[in-house]
Amino acid sequence: MRIGIIGTGVAGSLLAEGLHGFDVTAFERVAPGDQAESGTGLNIGPNALKALRLHLPARHAALRAASLPWQRWFIDLADGTRLFDLDLLQVAEEPGVRIRWSELYRLLRAPVAACTRHGHALEALEEDDAGRLVPVFRTKTGLVREGGFDLLVGADGRYSRLRALAAGEAEGTLLGVCIWRLLVADAADCPYDDYGQWFQGNARLLSFRVPGGAVYIAGTFPLPEDGQIPEAMKTAAAQRALFTPAAAAPCDAVAWMLARIEQHLAQIHWARSATVPVLRHALDGRALFLGDAAQAMVPTLGQGATQAVECGVVAARVLRAGGDAAAVAAARDARVEFVRDFSMAASDTLLPPVDVVAGTRSKMGSDFLARLRRLYTEVD
């Protein structure tokens, strides 16, 4: 079987590594090193680390070495009142990790560099006389055709070009929440370390340290009925007002983040949280989709990249055993449905009229923790 992989992000790189020895070619839109300094930071859940430990132990070790451990999750109000505090080892077999996106790309792409063709942006899709898929790429020298492939894998993210060509544009569903992201590169004076969240009403800050002395910050707030991000909210003054308690001073952590927001406002990336329907394969199983190309979900539980890790290693296991796209769907889709539903349920405190205090404290209850344990440990 000849396999082509579109995109060498998380799922695509891990799939290519897991299929070592197969006839695999991976195609990446950017040139080598183009994303070396780009992106922000992310946390990767214990379930992804378990998947790597079971199936790609060398990658597990490399990820651990390049990251900080994610051991604790706490949730406060903006004035510092503690609502939730969890040691992840209460619900997981090992900690998660905190890392920069650029470093994650580097360590995942390195093992598959020999089978990767850079500077290839998917433009169209054709078939050869045998019915195999022939991707058409735009390169710096013009259009080139590669193929034919018995299986073409879309691992090219939420706005997957392969998915659009094979099955039409995916229609997303907006959560009604703005999410912005910022990486503060020089953060030696940051007053916190591990994964924390701070609520002021239904608006939330999320932040943690990543390697290299940097801190990742993300903010969310409910959007108006039209679903658009008001330009007036993209100011330091608006964000300060949004996250400052009405009757108290912000705690040290929130005060530090508000100052960094003001200093680095131009570097903030603004987006709207959205999901797309799950689609695992198309074109009679000749096109397979992994990671966000298949299952983009709300980021509340940090499962976007984490599920892409699971996708890459599980799909490789299934294909090595002689399975096809339908077999990958059988191995992944029930798990993904649980994760998507749980992530959506955990997003309740991001939108009014949910009471943040009661809603957050309920997450220390046995039901939420049981689902969290299932999320973090039920990995094949």
Rounded Cα–Cα distance for residues 103 and 345 (Å): 31
Q: Which residue has the tokens 């695509």?
A: 12
Q: What is the pLDDT of residues 307-318, one digit of tens each?
A: 999 999 999 999
Q: pLDDT over 70 for what percent of the chain?
A: 99
**pTM value > 0.85:** yes
> What pLDDT score was predicted for residue 363?
97
Predicted confidence (pLDDT) at residue 65 exceeds the cutoff of 60: yes
Whether pLDDT at 153 is above 60 = yes
Residue 132 has pLDDT above 80, yes or no: yes
Q: Is the pLDDT of residue 304 over 70?
A: yes
pLDDT of residue 38: 62
The string of pLDDT tens digits covering residues 24-50 is: 999 999 888 776 556 799 999 999 999
**pLDDT attached to residue 39:** 77
Cα-to-chain-centroid distance, residue 2? 28
Which residues contact residue 52 at a Cβ distance below 8 angstroms, ignoring those fewer than 6 apart? 59, 60, 63, 309, 313
**Domains of the chain by start residue, with CATH:** 1-29+119-172+276-346 (3.50.50.60), 37-57+69-100+175-274+350-380 (3.30.9.30)
Q: Nearest CA to 248 among 77, 39, 110, 4?
A: 77
